[in-house]
Structure 1
Amino acid sequence: MKIELSGDTFYPVGALENFLPQIGRVVELGDLPIAVFRTSDGRIFAALNQNPHPKGGPLAEGIVSGHYLYDPLYDWKIDLTTGLVQAPDTGRVTMFPVKVEEGQVFIAAAVLQQA
């Protein structure tokens, strides 16, 4: 499933303090499960909680190191800044824009279209 994101409407998904460094947490945005990750340098990333591997699986249980997510099921390395799976594997994770304001985490989701 490919999801295209357009627009710039941000929705609150929780307080920053609820997202622990290097541990994924799943939030629901509409009907979509979104994996939210906080890196050791404090940046927040949000991805569709769906592994691009042909067999699928969740991403939230992955291990965060730097700006990379290491998938525990298939040992894939995913760049959280781009969503790209690193070589020798290939694929892309659907990433969502994130912002933090006044201690709250917001994820962008205006129009979600399945293609």
Structure 2
Amino acid sequence: MSWIDIGHIDDIPLRGSRVVKTRAGCLAVFRTAEAEVFAVGNTCPHKGGPLSEGIVHGTSVTCPLHNMIFDLETGQAQGADDGSIPTYPIRIEAGRLLLDAASVAQRSAA
């Protein structure tokens, strides 16, 4: 995998987020209360809400427009057929947030 440095973990507050602009569109990078990080597509598939403005709870985020809840690990919406959001591999190395460039490039080509 090829990794892109997108900033320091302290750039994102606990239970907060940051928007990262890519060729695949805007991604939302979330930090949970336990300092886990997740990268997902920033747009809710239901009403186009900016998920980066949603509320982070556990490993989920709630859309700010209509309260749909998405699992940050899988991208699945709460409920069997409620849709999903794309997820992207991300890791923390020496306090730096590293996003998998290949997965972002693959999504932009699709």
The answer to whether the superposition gives a TM-score over 0.5 is yes
> Does the CA contact (< 8 Å) of 1:96 and 1:109 recur in 2?
no
% of aligned pairs identical? 36
Three-state SS of the structure 2 residue aligned to 1:60 is: helix
Q: Is the 8 A contact 2:49 2:64 kept in 1?
A: no
* Aligned-pair CA distance for 1:32: 2.4
> With structure 1 as the length reference, what TM-score do the two structures score?
0.85
Helix, strand or coil at the partner of 2:51: coil
Matches within 5 A, 1:5-24: 8-24=1-17
1:71, 1:96 → 2: CA distance? 18
Q: How far, CA to CA, are the matches of 2:26 and 2:95 in structure 1? A: 22
Q: Matched residue pairs, number?
A: 107
Q: 2:25 aligns with which of 32, 39, 45?
A: 32
Residues 26/38 of structure 1: CA separation in 2 closer, same or farther (3 Å cut): same
Runs of 4+ off more than 3 Å: none
**TM-score scaled to structure 2, two decimals?**
0.88
- 1:102 aligns to 2:94 (yes or no): yes
Q: CA deviation at 1:62?
A: 0.5
Rounded to whole Å, the distance in 2 between the matches of 1:101 and 1:75 is 33
Question: What is the rounded CA distance, in whole Å, between the counterparts of 1:52 and 1:105 in structure 2?
Answer: 26
Q: Which residue of 1 aligns with 2:38?
A: 45
Q: With a CA cutoff of 8 Å and minimum separation of 6, indicate the structure with the bigger relative contact order.
A: 1
In structure 1, which of residues 86, 89, 93 is the aligned counterpart of residue 78 of structure 2?
86
Instruction: Report the RMSD for the aligned CA atoms in angstroms.
Output: 1.6
Q: Which ranges in structure 1 are unaligned for 5 or more consecutive residues?
A: 1-7
Decide which structure has greater helix share.
2
| Runs of 5+ unmatched residues, structure 2 | none
Q: CA deviation at 1:27?
A: 1.4
Query: In 1, Cα distance between the equivalents of 2:38 and 2:90?
Result: 6
